[in-house]
Structure 1
Amino acid sequence: MNIVLRLSIPLALALGAWGVGGALHAGEHEGRDHELARQALEQGQVLPLRQVLDKVEREYQGQVLKIEFEREDGRYIYEIRLLQRDGRMAKLEVDAVDGRVLKIKRKGD
């Protein structure tokens, strides 16, 4: 089962970690997706978004443009699009449980 949660960056940053009443992707399942993400955080199954963003921004030197929360093959994933200082776009898949970067794709590589 894949679950995708899309957050607007200003709202995600303002809420810190799956706050109340988030702006999600358009679609009929958005309330359920948001609830699953919130529950995963409350149950300690995933790291807070702010903690993951701090690490990514520090280690990959860039500005976060887009965030998605997914569950792929039983694993929670933060998918983060980052505009790096050299102007290249990077897409990182980060394990939401421990913050490890699992995959990086860069435009131009």
Structure 2
Amino acid sequence: MKTPRPSTYASRNERRRLVAGVAAVAMAVPLLSLPAAGIAHDHERRQRSDHDEARRALLSGKVLSLRQVLDIVAREYPGEPVEVEFEHDDGMYRYELKLLQASGRIIKMKVDASSGKIISVKARDKEDDD
């Protein structure tokens, strides 16, 4: 009767351990991502809700379109919009904008979404970041 060589046993045992380790990791990875997936899902749901609210406000004539607001703002503060948020706080609709000007300056502002009136402006020059 032939006896397997000791190196063959070691190889089989190592393979079994490797397979068991890979299986354990494969089962653990989805479990680790559950909380993050839940947070991402809530964020997406809130964004959809915000988008729906903005759309309803626009269609009902309560607010100006983003294009109209950007045209109003550009008269005084030319620049490219790099971030836009639509908010409804304390019964007031407003756009929060970040504009990047040609000089590299970033302008953050709040604009009344109903009238297009600029509520507040904060400017940050490029060298402020350095």
* 3-state DSSP of counterpart to 2:45: coil
> TM-score w.r.t. structure 2 length?
0.59
CA distance in 1, matches of 2:105, 2:85: 19
Distance in 2 separating the partners of 1:29 and 1:44:
23
Aligned length: 84
Structure 1 window deviating more from structure 2 (69-78 vs 56-65): it is 56-65
8 A contact 2:50–2:86 mirrored in 1 = no
Q: 1:87: Cα distance to partner?
A: 1.5
Other-structure match for 1:28: 45
Q: 2:97 aligns with which of 73, 80, 88?
A: 80
1:69 aligns with 2:86: yes
Displacement of 1:65: 0.8
Q: Is the 8 A contact 1:57 1:64 kept in 2?
A: no
The one-letter code sitting in structure 2 at the alignment partner of 1:97 is S
Name whichever structure is richer in strand by fraction.
Answer: 1
Counterpart among 52, 55, 58 of residue 72 in structure 2: 55
Could you tell me which residue of structure 2 aligns to residue 39 of structure 1? 56
TM-score normalised according to structure 1 size: 0.70
More helix by share: 2
CA-based RMSD of the aligned residues comes to 1.6
Aligned counterpart, 2:117:
100
| Equivalent AA in structure 1 for residue 47 of structure 2 | E
Structure 2 CA distance, aligned partners of 1:87 and 1:32? 33
CA distance in 2, matches of 1:70, 1:43: 16
- The alignment-based identity, stated in percent, is 48
| 1:62 to partner: Cα distance | 1.1
Higher relative contact order (CA 8 A, sep 6+): 1
Report which of the two structures shows the higher radius of gyration computed on alpha carbons: 2
Letter matched to residue 109 of structure 2? L
Specify the SS of the correspondent of 2:53. Answer: helix
Equivalent residue letter for 1:99? G
